[in-house]
Amino acid sequence: MTVRHPLVEKFFFLSLIFFIGGCALLKEERSFSKSGLTVNFRSLNALDDVQNVRFRYPIILSEANIRNHLGSLYYQDIISPRQPRPVFSLRVASKLAPLFKSALRKVKPGKYLHFTYRGLTEGEVFATAKNIHWRIFKINGVVHSNDPLRIQEPTWQLVRMYGQSYQKLRTGGFEKNIKNRIIANINLPSPKHKSRSRSTTKSFPRK
């Protein structure tokens, strides 16, 4: 019996650690959804290439500013390029702007915002002193791919608009544009390209 007690206590202690860690993870990944937009607040440890980035908190932007950012995100097919299309139509951007405004204000230090829209468009966003960083992984159900070796067929890439630039990755003395990551001036003006989408939207109450 005297031999088993330490083992039982050790097992109980380890189980407690895993339980607490699991609860913390679930709390960190808790999602909030409204009007097709689902957001959660993730640890900055999940981001790459941000070692020298100074994040901005709190992220307080006007609804009009966020609408400009959403309406300025455009993409284009890689294999068969066509006229650039909006990631979010202007109507959808207007619908989502107040939701993003509320969610961004709630991002705490050490966190960033991950989002999906209707389960089809996915990305993440965070802010630095003068810029908003948009990283888009999926648009209308199609995952971003731009493999230069063509092992996986390329799909789409974001298109830079006025006030935007690609994130640059430096490896081995070479610099590469990451074309699903847009860095935009935080005070971005209204987009010059207009969406022709006729999708319907509803008004949303202010909080």
Choose between 173 and 88: higher pLDDT: 88
- Residue ranges of the domains in the chain? 32-185
| Residue pLDDT, tens place only, 21-59 | 444 444 556 789 999 999 999 999 999 888 889 999 999
- Vertex 147, ends 43 and 163: CA angle to 5°? 60
201 falls in which pLDDT band (50, 70, 90)?
A: very low
Q: Which of 158, 99, 170 is nearest to 133 (CA)?
A: 158
- Write down the pLDDT at residue 207: 36
pTM: 0.78
- The answer to whether the beta carbons of residues 59 and 171 sit under 8 Å apart is no
| Residue pLDDT, tens place only, 117-130 | 999 999 999 999 99
5 falls in which pLDDT band (50, 70, 90)?
A: low
Q: Decide if pLDDT at 147 tops 60.
A: yes
- The answer to whether the beta carbons of residues 123 and 139 sit under 8 Å apart is no
Q: What is the average pLDDT score of the chain?
A: 83
Question: In the numeric block, which tokens belong to residue 30?
Answer: 């808790």
- The answer to whether the beta carbons of residues 99 and 147 sit under 8 Å apart is no
Q: Decide if pLDDT at 82 tops 70.
A: yes
Q: Which residues pair with 37 in a beta bridge?
A: 34, 117
Q: Decide if pLDDT at 1 tops 50.
A: no
CA distance 127 to 134: 9
- Write down the pLDDT at residue 131: 97
CA distance 163 to 65: 13
Question: In the numeric block, which tokens belong to residue 199?
Answer: 């999708």
Pick from 71-85, 127-141, 156-170, 192-206: least confident: 192-206
| Residue pLDDT, tens place only, 152-179 | 899 999 999 999 999 998 877 788 999 9
Tally Cβ neighbours within 10 Å of residue 97.
Answer: 23
Q: Decide if pLDDT at 113 tops 60.
A: yes
